[in-house]
Chain A
Amino acid sequence: MKKVSRSSLDACFAAIAASQKLYLPVADGEKKRGAKYAPWFEGAVYSTAVNTVRSAKDFFFPQVEKMTRFKMDGKQIEVEDIRKENEDFVIFGVRACDAASFAILDSVYLSDPVDSFYQNRREHGLIMTMACGKPTETCFCSVFGIDAAEPAGDISCWMTEDTVYMQANTEKGEALLASLPMLEDAADDAAEETKAAIRQVLDKLPLKDLSTDAFGGDKLMKLFDSDKWNSLSEACLACGTCTFVCPTCQCYDIRDYDTGHGIERFRCWDSCMYSDFTLCAHGNTRTTQMQRFRQRFMHKLVYYPSNNNGTFGCVGCGRCLKSCPISMNIVKVMKTLGEGNE
């Protein structure tokens, strides 16, 4: 394990940023706007906010990305492959929940057929996680077996009043830490006290006892046919907020854009809450908002675990709890459906 004093953290950032792009959470203007990931710059202040408003999935699965370009000349169509090798980059300050979300995205995008856009970003990205010093009431990662005191990633970090401890978990992480001269050696158990303090707080979180017993791949029909979906979804505005701030929502649409000189094919985030989601030639498979709403939660709590050895498609980051315009979210859904169904 390595360590660096908090006063030298900026020097550490500067050293990383000298060789590659470094992103870190910073305050996003006025206080209520929370934090966002931004490229490091001289004088950037690392935000210790419990989480960024947008998730870290943006780095690997951006909202919009160009896929290919077509040029037409009479009956000839030229297809241009515009993929290019990404540059190496580091994301600092990823929380345990978001770090766990990458495994979920990987299971979709890195399984056959591999998504080369996503894969390329993953290969060039290095993730430095930060244990959660001050988890908040909307946090419930432990419900999905995630330990906020022991975040994954290439390098895990812990922060105390005056020191940041760093532990490399991969060769890539090892190499980065070795390249930073301001780091000092620390005892392997140097962060244990911090971890214990974090776990004490985690144990007090109001949502820590949220039960997943009523969910999983084997509960499909019972949950699908529940009459509770109507009241759960009645106030849903059919916006895409929950899906877009969610670190594990991974659906996209592919669209063509007429540039006037040809066609640019791009993909962009899609939301199962939208009326034209999975629109087919015959029409739409889900014609009511209740069905669309149900799809989102069934995917996270039933379909995904059914296809992935029981792993749920939620990491308990709590973003949907904070951002939903009408305050309907996965916790309320789980509590309502779970009642009497354990």
Chain B
Amino acid sequence: MQDTMMKRASELLADGTVVRVLGWKNGEFVYDPTPAVFDSAEALAQDFVYHDFCGSNLSKYLIELSRLEGKTLVFLKPCDSYSLNQLLTEHRIDREKVYIIGIPCDGKLDPDTVRSSAEGILSAVTEGDSVQVETMYGNVTLNKADCLLERCTVCKSHKVVVFDEMLGENGTVNPDSNRFDMVEKLEAMTPEERYEFWRGELSRCIRCNACRNVCPACSCEQCVFDSPTSGVSQKAAADSFEENMFHIIRAFHVAGRCTDCGECSRVCPQHIPLHLLNRKFIKDINTYYGEYQAGAEAGSRAPLVNFTMDDCEPNVIYKGGSK
């Protein structure tokens, strides 16, 4: 796939369709590619990579890149394409300035998981269902299924929802992803147990803001928490309650707009399962307003910013019970 992508990107650069390419650049190790912009076939040939560790979602970078002169070519995995659609819906990206090539994805690897099973990694190659890892301390074979990013273990869709062209065959939406299983477990807890669970998780936060900064739904030019004049600017919590509030407020802020791309949990250095907050909102929206997937189509009106006569009464939600 990598070679096909490079070839196509070089062609589009050569014929002037695009002036730059957004992709991934080879890292120091096999598992650490960095998102990068390439402006020539030579640059692509030198550093461009695409493999199972290219998990990062490139869509958010297009907010900046689509403001530049000329078109940007971007490679989007199914997940990333939902984010892009959502950003188009919010008028954050100029569609005319972006050339999208959809690429199929059968799950990306979680470097933290691979590293925790194989110390001293020198190389890692996916072969079918397994990952062959060469380490300083010997070779290790891992099951790919055990090394996937959380979002990939419950993949909601293999379908690239917005593209100018597809490389390879497009996939389909997966209605049986089981992505709400953990949310259901949390719902089944007593309020005290649930409170303990979240206090335990959120108290681990070091307030690095990686979750917020990577989030395609968090696209404010300046976050209220970073604004010295907002009155709520925070670099750290004055008490543990505030820390919880940061994440809960953020989840509310992206409710109905979060596509469940899972980047928040991928980047958290403390491995807090932040996606569960967002999924709770997604599940509730599905329950109370009918099935809705943010980013499935550009320009759709999200239930939380729309009104229909069929909407449930607010007190139904307030009670948190069944309709």
Give me the interface of A with B, judged by CB distance under 8 Å.
28-34, 50, 53-54, 63-64, 134-138, 201, 204-207, 231, 234-235, 237-241, 243-245, 253, 255, 257, 264, 266, 268-271, 274-276, 279, 321-323, 325-329, 331-332, 335
Contacts and interface: CB of A to CB of B under 8 A. Distances in A.
A137 B271 contact: no
A32 B136 contact: no
B267 to A, nearest CB: 4
Nearest to B234: A255
In the A-B complex, the 6 residue pairs with the smallest Cβ-Cβ separation, listed nearest first, are A268-B236, A325-B267, A327-B32, A239-B210, A237-B213, A323-B269
A296 to B, nearest CB: 13
13 contacts: A32-B112, A32-B271, A34-B116, A137-B120, A239-B267, A240-B210, A245-B269, A268-B236, A321-B28, A325-B210, A325-B213, A325-B214, A325-B266
Contact of A322 (B112, B206, B233): B112
Contacts of A332: 27-28, 34
A32 B113 contact: yes
Interface in B202-220: 206-210, 212-214
A269 B209 CA distance: 13
A270 B235 contact: yes
Interface of B: 27-29, 32-37, 56, 61, 110-113, 115-117, 119-122, 135-137, 206-210, 212-214, 222, 226, 228, 233, 235-238, 266-267, 269-271
A65 to B, nearest CB: 10
B199 to A, nearest CB: 14
A235 B36 contact: yes
A12 to B, nearest CB: 26
Given A53-B269, A264-B238, A325-B266, A279 B228 contact: yes
Contacts of B212: 239
B237 A64 contact: yes
Nearest to A267: B236
B207 A240 contact: yes
Contacts of A201: 136
Given A201-B136, A235-B61, A328 B34 contact: yes
Nearest to B121: A137
Given A253-B235, A325-B266, A137 B29 contact: yes
A325 B60 CA distance: 14
Nearest to B242: A257
A11 B227 CA distance: 51
Contacts of A32: 110, 112-113, 115-116, 271
Given A33-B270, A136-B121, A325-B214, 8 more contacts: A29-B271, A32-B110, A136-B119, A137-B122, A207-B28, A239-B213, A253-B235, A325-B267
Contacts of B119: 50, 134, 136-137
A239 B233 CA distance: 15
A258 to B, nearest CB: 9
Contacts of A238: 213
Nearest to B150: A32
B137 A134 contact: yes
Nearest to B238: A257
A64 B203 CA distance: 13
B236 A64 contact: yes
Contacts of A244: 206-208, 269
B226 A206 contact: no
B19 to A, nearest CB: 15
A251 to B, nearest CB: 11
Contacts of A235: 34-36, 61
B235 A255 contact: yes
A135 B112 CA distance: 16
A210 to B, nearest CB: 10
A136 B27 CA distance: 17
A64 B36 CA distance: 35
Nearest to A325: B267
Nearest to A237: B213
A276 B228 contact: yes
